[in-house]
Amino acid sequence: MQFHHINHDRTKLLIFFGGFYTDYNCFEEFDTKTSDILFINDYSNLDFEELRYFDFSPYSEINLIAYSYGVWAANEAYKACALPEINKSIAISGTYYPVHEKFGINPKVFNIMLNALSVDTMARFRENMLSGGAGGEIKQAERTLDNLRDELINIKKYSVMSADDADEFEFETYIMTKNDKIFPFRAQENFVNSRDWKNTHSVILNTGHFPFFEFENFDNILEA
How does pLDDT run across 80-93, given as a tens digit for each residue?
A: 999 999 999 999 99
* Number of Cβ atoms within 10 Å of the Cβ of 167: 9
Per-residue pLDDT tens listing for the chain (224 residues): 999 999 999 999 999 999 999 999 999 999 999 999 999 999 999 999 999 999 999 999 999 999 999 999 999 999 999 999 999 999 999 999 999 999 999 999 999 999 999 999 998 998 898 887 666 788 888 899 999 999 999 999 887 765 555 689 999 999 999 999 999 999 999 999 998 887 789 999 999 999 999 999 999 999 98
DSSP 102: T
Predicted model pTM: 0.94
Residue 134: per-residue pLDDT: 62
C-alpha 169/C-alpha 99 separation (Å) is: 19
Whether 90 and 171 have beta carbons less than 8 Å apart is answered as yes
CA distances for 159 relative to 26, 83, 106, 207, angstroms: 25, 21, 11, 26
**How far apart are alpha carbons 61 and 85 in whole angstroms?**
9
49: left (phi over 0), alpha (psi -120 to 50) or beta: alpha
pLDDT tens, residue by residue, 85-137: 999 999 999 999 999 999 999 999 999 999 999 999 998 998 898 887 666 78
